[in-house]
Amino acid sequence: MTFKRALLTLCVFAATLTVFAASAFDGQWSGEIRGPEGSQMILLFLKTQGVKVTGTLVVGNEQETQIQEGVLEGNTRNIVKFKTNDTANVEALWTGRLKWGNTKTSDEIALVREAGPQTERIEVTVKRVQ
């Protein structure tokens, strides 16, 4: 009976750690994309539930875009991947990795946007909005 209780406690503890790791992406993030035509603000709103990621993305003056097929990856769930379709109906794959500072919480995500051979790869760091 003691072994079963210890095993149950361990499972609950592991599940709690997974929830806390997944929630590191939750919240509002902002940054700036620099390009040949100037800079554009990027706003990212993320919400996680287990390994599923939902939310919205706004780049510059474009309309808000819904995140599609968002998932957390990596054995510590520190990578987020999602797709978006912009106003020109261009599908883009976004990959982000948490950047940990001196605290136990992450305040930055390094994002990479790839949208096919016709579009250049974009790298941007977004910071957590307080």
Is the predicted pLDDT of residue 3 greater than 60, yes or no?
no
Locate the DSSP E strands across the chain: 27-35, 38-49, 52-59, 65-66, 68-73, 79-85, 91-100, 106-114, 122-128
Span 16-27, average pLDDT: 62
Amino acid code (one letter) for 10: L
Span 70-80, average pLDDT: 80
Is the predicted pLDDT of residue 10 greater than 80, yes or no?
no
What the chain holds in terms of domains, given with CATH numbers, is 27-128 (2.40.128)
How far apart CA 12 and CA 18 sit, in angstroms, is 10
Report the pLDDT value the prediction gives residue 26, as an integer from 0 to 100. Answer: 92
